Amino acid sequence: MKNFIIIFLSIACATLLFLGNQQWKEKVQVRSSATNTFSTEENQANKPDDEHPDNLTDYTKNWPEKARTIFETALEEGRPFKILLAGSPAMGNAETGWAELLTDQLQNTYGDAIEVTAKSYEMTSREFIDAETQNELAAEQADLVLLEPFILMNNGKVGNDQAVEHYSVIIDAILSAKPDTVVILQPANPLSKARFYPLQVEALKEYAETNGLDYLDHWQAWPETEVERLELLSGGDPNFPNEEGHKLWADYLIDYFIAK
């Protein structure tokens, strides 16, 4: 009888040890499986989407063909495509001006593939030329220059014939320093109740067409009525846009430089 009890206890003990070992293995396996699943999901989340990479050139479809070609070459060479924004104080301040808003969006979209510089001058085109400040723009060696050639500062001070000569001096300096630079012209903001200023803007547009330069007519995006236009100029200097006016102007340029 004693031997039977000893044998029975031995079998029971062995059975408990076996079952406990099996349960431990199952727990370890479950933990291991859970760890592997998390790790796989984490890797998938952090893995770049190589199958659908962003093709930055797709965003440039509104650009002049020459600018697109230079941009593609810059990408291949691993260097930034340099954009220069230049003009009068109509560019706005460093926080809410159209130049800053455009720069932010360009950098967010293109990243290190572009380099943007903005230069503002409170001068007429005559003062700009007399001071030979065009050499500052030329020294940037930009691939693309978006230029508002001081047309608002010229209002009532520099005639159209003189202004046209000044445009050529500025652009010639830029192209002399870097012949393949693409120059794009744009007017400054509209004014309220202006008589001669719209004629100056029209002359700038004709100059661009005559010389084969792209012209960004953001005036198309501005309200046609005097009351609505005043709302985008009020709140500060009536010669320049307010925050909402700069956003409208910037949105037009962003749609051009970052095609959807």
Q: Is 149 helix (H, G, I), strand (E, B) or coil?
A: coil
Judge if 178 and 249 occupy the same domain. yes
Judge if 116 and 182 occupy the same domain. yes
Judge if 246 and 143 occupy the same domain. yes
Give the pLDDT score at 60.
98
Return the number of other C-beta atoms located less than 10 Å from residue 101's C-beta: 20
Closest CA to 154 of 146, 145, 166: 166
Judge if 82 and 146 occupy the same domain. yes
Judge if 37 and 63 occupy the same domain. no
Give the pLDDT score at 47.
35
- Number of domains within the chain: 2
Judge if 190 and 101 occupy the same domain. yes
Judge if 16 and 141 occupy the same domain. no
CA gyration radius, the chain: 33
Greatest Cα-to-Cα distance within the chain, rounded to the nearest angstrom: 127
| Per-position pLDDT tens, the chain of length 260 | 444 444 444 444 444 444 444 443 443 333 333 333 223 333 333 333 333 336 999 999 999 999 999 999 999 999 999 999 999 999 998 888 999 999 999 999 999 999 999 999 999 999 999 999 999 999 999 999 999 999 999 999 999 999 999 999 999 999 999 999 999 999 999 998 888 999 999 999 999 999 999 999 999 999 988 888 889 998 878 899 999 999 999 999 999 999 98
Give the pLDDT score at 54.
62
Q: Are 167 and 207 in contact (CB under 8 A)?
A: yes
Judge if 120 and 196 occupy the same domain. yes
Judge if 91 and 144 occupy the same domain. yes
User: Which residues, in sequence order, are bridge partners of residue 255?
Assistant: none
Judge if 20 and 86 occupy the same domain. no
**Angle, helices 197-210/160-177, rounded to nearest 10 degrees:** 40
For 25, the domain range is 1-47
Q: Is 161 helix (H, G, I), strand (E, B) or coil?
A: helix
Judge if 176 and 238 occupy the same domain. yes
Residue length of the chain: 260
d(CA 110, CA 80): 10
